[in-house]
Amino acid sequence: MMLYTCQASSNLHPLILIPGNGGNQLEAKLTSDYKPSSLYCDKWNPVRKDKEGWFRLWFDPSVLLAPFTKCFAERMTLYYHPDLDDFRNAPGVQTRVPHFGSTQSLLYLDPYLKHITAYMAPLVESLEQIGYVNGKTLFGAPYDFRYGLAAEGHPSHVGSKFLQDLKDLIEKASTSNGGKPVILLSHSLGGLFALQLLNRNPSTWRQKYIKHFIALSAPWGGTVEEMLTFASGNSLEVPLVEPLQVREEQRSSESNLWLMPNPKLFGSQKPLVITPNATYSAYDVAQFLSDIGFPQGVYPYESRILPLTEKLVAPGVPVTCIIGSGVSTPETLFYGENGFDEQPEIVYGDGDGTVNMLSLLALESLWSNEKNQTLKVIKIRGVSHTLILKNDAALEEIIGEISGINSIAEYYVGYRIK
């Protein structure tokens, strides 16, 4: 662990952490409408609940055991309702996000398994070393990461409520710190939510409340790996989990649709998925969804998600992107005669192991002509998508950036390469 110089708390701008997909705890409660698919999934599971029946849905180690993996998947599954034009939980499953405003649910995905489920704990410890205090100058904005946002004209009840809660937290954090504007520090998917928040509020609000936006490992243009997730399921390196057992749940996630490769960035000429019968580029995602056996995803993708991905608008506040590089990242997927139920052969390219370099650097190309936008990119070689929250070199860069912001340092458009 690196040691950092503590700054006087009066000099610190309040800081809000926004986690990525799967980066905070979720809790669930089963009602009388819940219909288990098997005895294993009945209401007795899990045994550990609070007096009102709430239990930790994510992360719970029972997902590692095959009979319970199915229970986990059916409770995490979302359903798109055409009549509502929105996503909802499975019938009989209520969910909530614990400890909004605090860093508590971001530290460890399971507080009883700290060693193997640490998420933002090393980052928070590093922030505390320079004087940040949870609940005073340091805040967390966990959310239900299964849900995403939708393009204008389409409801997105859960995602929109999170943006409002985040806006309220920003204003509260600023007010309780003498009116100092806030530093937003996001990881992965959290960066997409943060940018949407900034662009959905007027410039006068942004100038008053936002000091700086730091995005770690943000998948601005989606990922090729997401196509693998939809086609064949993705164990996400969780041991003992069979990808096909969680595929339907992963397909149901609104935020996963949001992370499909952006056509504007990936283009129409680059093949992302190749099968004996078809080749798919980022412009063919709708056809791809239909061909893998998920036609119900086509309308939400085309109407709600695709227009949203076309608007990566410069927010007019200073932005720093800190990214990993030099890590093998899926770039093209090859499927054989056995179809999508088998894992593909993969050709790898540059990125952070999850997000392609093209996506990580998207803002640099999209905002190149934005005269009123300050953008800084810091590349750290050999640091993966999640290791960026734990690696000493990465933490040193992150803390150095935050210390510089608090010292009113000068920022520039360009790169720093480690």
DSSP 228-274: HHHHH---TT-TT--HHHHHHHHHH-HHHHHTSPPHHHHTTTS--EE
pLDDT attached to residue 418: 45
What per-residue confidence (pLDDT) applies to 237? Answer: 73
pLDDT for res 238? 76
pLDDT of residue 8: 58
Looking at residue 240, what is its pLDDT? 75
Please report the pLDDT score of residue 415 as a whole number. 46
- What was the pLDDT predicted at 9? 60
The pLDDT of residue 412 is 43
* pLDDT at position 310: 86
Q: So what's the pLDDT on residue 356?
A: 98
Q: Which residues of the chain have pLDDT under 50?
A: 1, 409-418
Measured CA to CA in angstroms, residue 352 lies from 123, 157, 207 at distances of 18, 32, 32
Residue 212 known to be catalytic: no
Q: Residues 126, 352, 359, 384: which is the catalytic one? A: 352
Other Cβ atoms closer than 10 A to 415? 12
**Cα 182 to Cα 205: distance, rounded to the nearest angstrom:** 12
Q: Report the pLDDT value the prediction gives residue 158, as an integer from 0 to 100.
A: 98
User: What does the pLDDT look like over 208-255, one tens digit per residue?
Assistant: 999 999 999 999 999 999 999 999 999 877 777 899 999 999 999 999
Residues 69-80: b if buried by 16+ CB within 10 A, e if exposed:
bbbbbbbbbbeb
Q: Which one of 13, 187, 212, 385 is the catalytic residue? A: 385
Q: Is 187 a catalytic residue?
A: no
Q: What pLDDT score does 241 carry?
A: 84
Is residue 253 among the annotated active site residues?
Answer: no
Name the catalytic one among 188, 232, 359, 384: 188
pLDDT of residue 46: 85
Question: Considering the entire predicted model, what is its pTM?
Answer: 0.95
For the CA atoms of 268, 188, 79, 75, the dihedral, rounded to the nearest 10 degrees, stands at: 140
Q: Which residues of 298-328 are buried (b: 16+ CB within 10 A; e: fewer)?
A: eebbeebbbebbeebebbbbbbbbbbbbbbe
Which residues have a Cβ under 8 Å from the Cβ of 140 and sit 6 or more positions away? Answer: 16, 17, 19, 24, 99, 100, 101, 102, 103, 104, 105, 106, 120, 134
